[in-house]
Amino acid sequence: MKTQTLEEAVRLTKQFTSKPSNEDLLKLYGLYKQATEGDNENERPGGFDFKSAAKYNSWLQYKGKSKEEAEEEYIQLVEKLSQTHL
């Protein structure tokens, strides 16, 4: 199934019948945030909030990537994951 837009790709992830790996979920999160908000300018989460820190770091690794590039990568990743999780 070929998705054309970010919205279609997001809808497709909600149809997954199995959960992607944490690594893939973090990639999806980082690419989605970069595609929708641009560079991560938020403060790093503190303390022992490991989940938020992982999400922060995932988004941060796409810093400098255009929203369009991040959107395209997100769509490609969803299409790849849909082959094993639908």
- In this structure, what CATH number is given to the domain that contains residue 26? 1.20.80.10
Domain assignment present for residue 1? The answer is: no
Domain assignment present for residue 68? The answer is: yes
How confident is the model over 6-15, as pLDDT tens digits?
999 999 999 9
How confident is the model over 52-84, as pLDDT tens digits?
999 999 999 999 999 999 999 999 999 999 999
In angstroms, the CA 83 to CA 51 distance is 27
Domain assignment present for residue 34? The answer is: yes
Q: Which residue range is the domain that position 71 belongs to?
A: 6-85
What pLDDT band is residue 1 in, cutting at 50, 70 and 90?
Answer: low
Domain assignment present for residue 45? The answer is: yes
Domain assignment present for residue 50? The answer is: yes
Segment (H or E) for 21: none
Q: Could you count the other beta carbons within 10 Å of the beta carbon of residue 34?
A: 26
Domain assignment present for residue 69? The answer is: yes
Sign of CA dihedral 29, 35, 39, 42: negative
Burial class (CB in 10 A: 0-12, 13-18, 19+), 53: middle
Domain assignment present for residue 61? The answer is: yes
Q: How many structural domains is the chain composed of?
A: 1
Write down the residue that tokens 């959960």 correspond to: 19
